[in-house]
Amino acid sequence: MNAMWLLKSMSPYSHNVKYEVSEMEELLTIRGETDGSSTTGTVPLYSDLFYEPVNYFRIPKGMAAKIWFKKVSGEGETLFTLQYTYDCTASPIDWKDIQREKLSAKGEISIEKRRPVILRSLTGNEAFQIIWSQTTPAKAYIEIGVEIERASKATKKLKRQ
């Protein structure tokens, strides 16, 4: 799997791109931060493999995104919510809450999972995003470890555990 394949697959404008599915797995770290001036919003996602920040991560067809760890830090109380959609091309996009992480005060928390959150893509239109809410605007940060692999391989590994 090469970086260009990942970049094309994550672009919200790549509806007509055909993807090559590789046997290889990729582990990438995705980071985001609040703007510090609002109390709610969508976290812009950054990675060394992205040309620019994205609002959501589109999972390539036939693949699964496995979220292994989360690290949350900030200057105040912040709730980060991981959301998933079956169709990021719909208007409006119907996001479902999957998991929440709350930073209750200034500080940092790290969460590592023995069993990851697995988000599968059957059509290539599935995606996830992270939103935030705060009682008082403050800077907060999130970092997640995402493994991209074949959806069938992710299911087989879970059955063995």
Q: Which of 110 and 21 is assigned the larger pLDDT?
A: 110
Residue owning tokens 């990942």: 6
- How would you class 119 by CB atoms within 10 Å of its CB: exposed for 0-12, middle for 13-18, buried for 19 or more? buried
Q: For position 20, what pLDDT does the model report?
A: 44
Residue owning tokens 């940060």: 141
Average pLDDT, rounded, for the chain: 83
Domains along the chain with CATH numbers: 3-160 (2.60.120)
- Reported as a pLDDT band with limits 50, 70 and 90, residue 25 is confident
- Reported as a pLDDT band with limits 50, 70 and 90, residue 15 is very low
As a whole number of angstroms, the distance between CA 28 and CA 30 comes to: 6
Q: For position 24, what pLDDT does the model report?
A: 54
Q: Percentage of the chain with pLDDT > 90? A: 68
- Reported as a pLDDT band with limits 50, 70 and 90, residue 114 is confident
Tell whether the model's pLDDT for residue 105 goes beyond 50.
Answer: yes
What single-letter amino acid sits at 86? Y
Tell whether the model's pLDDT for residue 39 goes beyond 90.
Answer: yes
pLDDT, tens digit, for every residue of 53-79?
999 999 999 999 999 999 999 999 999
Tell whether the model's pLDDT for residue 18 goes beyond 60.
Answer: no
How far out from the chain centre does Cα 3 lie? Answer: 17
- Residues 59, 75: contact at Cβ < 8 Å? no
